[in-house]
């Protein structure tokens, strides 16, 4: 009888050990998979933020709550790109030269009529901004700031970036990020602060890994008063477009 009791106890101990190990491994595996997936979610949210900030800069400070509009902007619109050549020396700065004044000297020379152009270019050379050849033509720009317009897609993202995927949540089985805009007028100056947020709940990309762990994670975030998922920006309160992982 005693042997039977010992065997039963051993089986129970082994069973409990198996359950404990399984529970611990379940938590560990869930954490690893969550971390791997969230790296891609965060990268996509940063891509959305990049597009929204560029959109805002070209649309009087306002964001968009429409992915079709945002993606079309990146595909079709151009952004200013400043091509920089050289930097002003300490001596030039001490002499009162600024980048704005330097470019004004160069622009004046470029726009000058032929009778005045030579003198204007000599002034620019004397200021150390260009090097002239024997024929009086510009041989080299020592300092220059020229604005070019480049397609937003080529400016904001690496070559080959699929902008059409911007709206979709990685591991979300076709789920799209929630995109919202808002406006905060609570500042003392009364100026409007336009806001945006992009977010996706945990269930959109963690469903199917471990239901108990997922439910625990969601409950914990709700208890802490946090959004149960990943988001960037906030449509109600300005947060400098920060992500809730930062």
Model confidence at 3, in pLDDT bands (50, 70, 90)? Answer: low
User: Does some domain include residue 164?
Assistant: yes
User: Does some domain include residue 148?
Assistant: no
User: Does some domain include residue 8?
Assistant: no
If asked whether residues 108 and 215 sit together in one domain, one would say no
If asked whether residues 108 and 58 sit together in one domain, one would say no
In tens, the pLDDT along 101-111 reads 999 999 999 99
What is the average pLDDT across 126-149? 90
Last residue of a domain, one of 116, 142, 168: 142
What is the average pLDDT across 134-146? 90
User: Does some domain include residue 103?
Assistant: yes
If asked whether residues 214 and 94 sit together in one domain, one would say no
If asked whether residues 104 and 211 sit together in one domain, one would say no
Q: Among 65, 69, 52, which Cα is nearest to 181's?
A: 65
If asked whether residues 98 and 209 sit together in one domain, one would say no
In tens, the pLDDT along 154-194 reads 999 999 999 999 999 999 999 999 999 999 876 666 678 99
- Exposed (0-12), middle (13-18) or buried (19+): which is 57, by Cβ within 10 Å? exposed
pLDDT over 50 (residue 246): yes
Model confidence at 9, in pLDDT bands (50, 70, 90)? Answer: low
If asked whether residues 158 and 217 sit together in one domain, one would say yes
pLDDT for 2: 56
CA-to-CA distance for 88 and 84, rounded, in angstroms?
11
| pTM metric for this prediction | 0.76
pLDDT over 80 (residue 18): no
Model confidence at 20, in pLDDT bands (50, 70, 90)? Answer: very low
If asked whether residues 183 and 220 sit together in one domain, one would say yes
Radius of gyration of the chain (CA): 30
What is the average pLDDT across 136-156? 91
| Chain CA centroid to CA 43, Å | 8
The answer to whether the CB of 170 falls within 8 A of the CB of 40 is yes
Model confidence at 25, in pLDDT bands (50, 70, 90)? Answer: low
User: Does some domain include residue 238?
Assistant: no
Q: Among 40, 58, 68, 39, which Cα is nearest to 164's?
A: 68
What is the average pLDDT across 210-222? 95
Model confidence at 36, in pLDDT bands (50, 70, 90)? Answer: very high
What is the average pLDDT across 83-93? 93
CA-to-CA distance for 181 and 196, rounded, in angstroms?
4
pLDDT over 70 (residue 97): yes
If asked whether residues 161 and 55 sit together in one domain, one would say yes
CA-to-CA distance for 48 and 67, rounded, in angstroms?
9
Please provide the average confidence, as pLDDT, over all residues in the chain: 89
Model confidence at 4, in pLDDT bands (50, 70, 90)? Answer: low
If asked whether residues 97 and 191 sit together in one domain, one would say no
What is the average pLDDT across 214-232? 96
Which bin fits 169, alpha (ψ -120 to 50), beta or left (φ > 0)?
beta
Q: Among 162, 164, 161, 236, which Cα is nearest to 193's?
A: 236
Last residue of a domain, one of 142, 163, 181: 142
The answer to whether the CB of 49 falls within 8 A of the CB of 156 is no
The count of structural domains within the chain is 2
If asked whether residues 67 and 158 sit together in one domain, one would say yes
CA-to-CA distance for 58 and 69, rounded, in angstroms?
13
If asked whether residues 116 and 204 sit together in one domain, one would say no
User: Does some domain include residue 101?
Assistant: yes
pLDDT for 134: 86
pLDDT for 115: 84
Domain assignment of residue 202, given as a range: 38-77+154-233
If asked whether residues 71 and 94 sit together in one domain, one would say no
Higher model confidence: residue 184 or residue 71?
71
User: Does some domain include residue 91?
Assistant: yes
User: Does some domain include residue 149?
Assistant: no
């Amino acid at each position: 009888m005693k042997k039977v009791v010992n065997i039963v106890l051993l089986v129970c101990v082994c069973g409990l050990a198996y359950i404990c190990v399984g529970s611990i491994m379940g938590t560990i595996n869930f954490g690893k998979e969550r971390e791997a997936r969230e790296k891609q979610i965060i990268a996509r949210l940063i891509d959305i933020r990049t597009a929204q900030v560029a959109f805002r800069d070209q649309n009087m400070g306002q964001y968009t709550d429409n992915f079709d509009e945002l993606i079309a902007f990146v595909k079709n619109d151009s952004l200013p790109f400043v091509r920089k050549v050289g930097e002003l020396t300490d001596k030039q700065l001490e002499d009162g030269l600024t980048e704005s004044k330097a470019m004004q000297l160069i622009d004046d020379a470029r726009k000058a009529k032929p009778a005045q152009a030579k003198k204007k270019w000599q002034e620019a050379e004397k200021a150390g901004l260009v090097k002239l050849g024997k024929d009086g033509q510009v041989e080299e720009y020592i300092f220059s700031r020229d604005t070019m317009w480049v397609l937003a897609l080529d400016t904001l993202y690496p070559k080959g970036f699929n902008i059409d995927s911007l709206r979709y949540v990685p591991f979300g089985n076709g789920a799209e990020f929630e995109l919202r805009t808002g406006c905060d007028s609570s500042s003392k100056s009364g100026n409007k602060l336009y806001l945006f947020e992009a977010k996706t709940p945990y269930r959109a990309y963690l469903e199917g890994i471990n239901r108990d762990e997922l439910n625990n994670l969601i409950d914990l975030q709700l208890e802490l008063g946090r959004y149960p998922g990943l988001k960037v920006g906030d449509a109600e309160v300005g947060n400098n477009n920060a992500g809730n992982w930062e």
